[in-house]
Amino acid sequence: MRVNPEILRFLEQKGAIIPEKGSNLHTVRLRIPGGIISTEQLLGIGRALRTRGLGAVHLTTRQTIEIPHLALEKIPPLLKALGKTGIYLGAEHEEIVNITACPGTDRCRLSNIPTNTLLERLDRLHFGREMPVRVRIAISACPNGCMSERLSEIGVTGLREPIRNEGLCTACGTCANTCREKAITMVNGRLVLDYTRCVQCGMCIDSCPFHIIRGSKPRYLVTVGGRRGRHPVIGRELVRVDSEEKAGKVVDRVVDWIYRYAYSGSTLTDQLDSMNFKGFRDRIIKEFAAVENREP
């Protein structure tokens, strides 16, 4: 099939136009950070597709939309139409791809941190940046990990450490029954918290009927080098910081570090040691005066 050279030049600059198996058609992945889209934008996508005789879309696992079965010559005018509603092409290859996030404190009862402003900042600064390897950034507001952030190249997890006042505790057992990690147990009539089991999810804090368990200031855990796919790997702990501002700056440093020191042809997971992750981790902890950082 002959394609207009101008269209080919246009497509060469774009990363989220994906060839489909066994045909000359392509799938287009859109940029929808955090899966957040206005009703007007949603209607705009529908109108743009319907007027071009296109059918259903695919809602992806990474909170975006893919439009399948497109002939190459249809893609530029479709993207132009979508751009009028503020919807643009996503990313797919050695780039920072669609950044994902859970709802956070905006509406999730289990959340420890807000996610929307951090999501907006990271998307604005880093989305689509060319990198040596594909980089996924994901944010989860608690260790339940709904966004599989620790399986991403860069993950941010919201934590909250329980702080108990044993002198006031009535040993009612509500927190122990709530804890999914069995980190709180009854020992000789007293409730004991095992910090080696605690994942700092904050559920025991919210469950205490007498508000005796207090929570620390929310922490932001940043992990690096996670991997999805056929051989999943949990990312290594980089640092724990005590503010969204610090978390954003840490992610900035990680992106720059990957850009400078990673190489193509291998996943970030397999490169961490050759990139001197330990030395990078030591510098980050020193720079951001991190709290409660654990050895990986």
Are 225 and 277 spatial neighbours (Cβ–Cβ below 8 Å)? Answer: yes
- What confidence tens digit (pLDDT) does each residue in 233-276 have? 999 999 999 999 999 999 999 999 999 999 999 999 999 999 99
> What pLDDT, on a 0 to 100 scale, did the predictor assign at position 11?
61
pTM, 2 dp = 0.91
According to CATH, the topology of domain 5-89 is Sulfite Reductase Hemoprotein; domain 2 (3.90.480)
Rg of the chain, C-alpha, whole Å: 22
Q: What are the boundaries of each domain within the chain?
A: 5-89, 100-159+218-288, 162-215
Q: Does residue 135 come out as left (phi exceeding 0), alpha (psi in the -120 to 50 range) or beta? A: beta
Domain 162-215 carries which CATH code?
Answer: 3.30.70.20
Encoded tokens for 260: 């400078």
Q: Which are the contacts of 249, defined by CB distance < 8 A and separation ≥ 6? A: 288
Residues, the chain: 296
Spatial distance between the Cα atoms of 126 and 147, rounded to a whole number of angstroms: 18
For residues 106-134, average pLDDT:
97
Spatial distance between the Cα atoms of 59 and 293, rounded to a whole number of angstroms: 37
According to CATH, the topology of domain 100-159+218-288 is Sulfite Reductase Hemoprotein; domain 1 (3.30.413)
Q: Is residue 178 exposed (0-12), middle (13-18) or buried (19+ Cβ within 10 Å)?
A: middle
The residue to which tokens 């859970």 are assigned: 102
Is 90 exceeded by the pLDDT of residue 182? yes
Alpha-carbon distances, residue 40 vs 46, 90, 99, 121, 124 (angstroms): 10, 19, 21, 23, 21
Query: What's the mean per-residue pLDDT of the chain?
Result: 91
- What confidence tens digit (pLDDT) does each residue in 30-77 have? 999 999 999 999 999 999 999 999 989 999 999 999 999 999 889 989
